[in-house]
Amino acid sequence: MSSSRPIASRAGADAPRDFVSSVVHSFRSASPLAQELLARDLEACSDDGDAPDDEAVGQDSDSDDGHTLTLYRRPSGIAYGSIRPTQGPSRLDLEPVLTREERQLSRDAERSLLRDNHLLPPKHPVVEKPSLIRRWYKSLFNTKVPISESDAESAAAPSGRETEVSPLLGTRAARSPASHEHLNEQWEAAVAEGKIKTTWQREAKTIALYSRSLIVTFVLQYSINVASIFAVGRIGKLELGAVSLATMTANITCYAPFQGLATSLDTLCAQAYGSGHRHLVGLQCQRMTVFLWLLIIPVAAVWSQAEPILALLIPEKRSAELAAQYLHVSLLGVPAMVAFEAGKRFVQAQGLFHATTYVLMIAAPLNILLNYLFVWRFGWGFVGAPIAVVVTQNLLPLLLFLYVWLIDGHQCWGGFSKRAFANWGPMVRLALPGMIMVTAEWFAFEILTLASGQFGTSYLAAQSVLVTLTSLTYQIPFPLSIAGSTRVANLIGAKLAGAARTSAKVTFVGGFLVGMFNLTVVAAFRYQIPLLFTQDPEVVEIVAQAIPVCAVMQLFDGMAGVAHGLLRGIGRQEIGGYANLGAYYLVALPVAFGLSFGLDWKLEGLWFGVTIGLILVGLIEYWFIYQSDWDRAVREAEDRNHTG
């Protein structure tokens, strides 16, 4: 696993080798680089006479000293893509810094688990003679751990002796009001005694609660790009294919690399937030924003020559022309996209995860309205779609700024600083692994769009429908994988290996059920779904022929996403990264090209190859999870938290 020792700087001929070595090392653990960057910033603050904030974040006045088995972790590392959302390298080796509200959530979760294990009195009075319906409901949804007959007899029998653990483990003592005054001691003693267990009902309830708001956020974010596809698809199949081609180009050359680089803020902002110097959170965001704004210059150079470049890759010249037009307009929204990605990490580091949801609840419906007005009402046609996206992208950071200024989050903003133009080295080395991971995963799917353009305009338009459909359905299993990852990491960090295994099983079943649901819906409406995008009969027929393959893919897509989340939960996310890269590039893409071009299966061949790759990814990852030593994962997590 990762080392906690800082990376020493070297000079001379060893510098290139050391840079490569640090990048490879940071792929597995970015903590030393983050510590190096934080140390430099803290030294600069010290030189300027800045002192830590009096009320360090997470050090609330009501915090309990020695409370080490925290049961609350927040999901982070989320990159909202325009096609498939991804997560950058996980930071499980960082001790979570809790706000006051999060600390209360942690206490509530611990208290609830103590009740479920009969170590605290029930929250509601026990009904002596429940009704038949109540008994049925309780048998299905009750989260309490069943008591064995021997435990029930020993709990009912009067105890003649009191020990130092009897206030926690004895039923009579647990029911006394005094037990609530020592919740932390009770929790730690119960964990040490191995008394904390969980049920599938509790884990299902918790994971559903975690993923609920994430699903809403992902769907809202994705709708910004989907709205333009729906609007343009009604114009014609040429325009529909051009949108897909433009989106593919934008994802590979800009959105994926930029969002991958921005995932480093999930580590940098979290450590800055926990250092007590809250203004450093704003400094990290400024530094990343300036860095990405400079990278827009080469992106603009590529997009300005998009038409001749795309014309070399696809036979349809008009599609290349429209796609280039889309990119030229979309360039006006890239600076705002960068600011929003950095601002999103700024509020997430403070535990304000609902901030982006509130912003999207305003921006997403407005984007739909703008697409209708610009494309159809004002008669701007194809060019109206990218204009609507640009307006929405520029609105997102503005709304987030208003939230921070007027509602919450401004405490971590120390104003604009010239330090944003310095100390970029560790930040870049920390950001590169995230960029490689995100870009590699996106490129494997985006290359299918480029390949489909070789079959003609109708197939390119059909590919646009299939990509949009599969990406939309992915907005359900991916948040579920984040919830499962968060819950498993939560329980691992609290030294509850058995409970973590139970939660992993529940997440696995949830992924299977979601995959079956998506499969059923997609297969049942194979002829109705393409009509939502286009009325062209040729495109509709091509989509309907390929949808059965995409429907089967839904099951394995969801299962693979959940498996990757579980690997992140036990701190072995690098296995998922290697499995993804190997399965996609060594198996999926060669099979896809062989079937689509060699056997002339066209789109069915492309998606069949991806399905084979997802099956392989799932098999590798689930085999590794099945063989994993969960007790060892607990020990490794404990070591990371002590040394991180």
Give the pLDDT of residue 89: 57
pLDDT tens string 531-559: 999 989 999 999 999 999 999 999 999 99
pLDDT at 118: 78
Q: How far is CA 572 from CA 1, 189, 456, 631, in A?
A: 9, 29, 42, 14
Please give the helix or strand (H or E) that residue 79 lies within, else none. Answer: strand 78-79
Spatial contact of 532 and 230, defined as CB atoms under 8 Å apart: yes
Angle at 218 between CA 78 and CA 369, to 5 degrees: 135
Neighbours of 137 (CB within 10 A): 12
Query: CA separation (Å) from 491 to 89, 220, 630?
Result: 20, 30, 11
Q: State the Rg of the chain over Cα.
A: 26
Dist. CA 333–CA 341, nearest whole Å: 12
Across the strands, what pairs with 587? none
Neighbours of 517 (CB within 10 A): 16
- Which three-class secondary structure state does DSSP give residue 78? strand
Cα 601 to Cα 546: distance, rounded to the nearest angstrom? 10
Averaged pLDDT, groups of 10, the chain, 644 residues long: 33 40 39 63 58 46 48 62 65 55 76 81 73 72 69 46 44 42 74 81 88 86 88 90 91 89 81 76 92 96 94 88 95 95 88 87 95 93 95 96 93 86 81 76 82 90 92 91 86 85 93 95 94 92 95 94 86 79 90 94 94 93 90 76 54
Predicted TM-score (pTM) of the model is 0.81
Q: Where are the alpha helices (DSSP H) in 263-316?
A: 265-274, 279-304, 306-313
pLDDT at 151: 53
Q: Is 493 helix (H, G, I), strand (E, B) or coil?
A: helix
Dist CA 104 CA 635 (whole Å): 26
Q: What DSSP designation does 97 have?
A: P
Q: Give percent helix, percent strand, percent coil of the chain, each to the nearest 5.
A: 75, 0, 25
Q: How many CA atoms lie within 13 A of 520 on its CB side?
A: 6
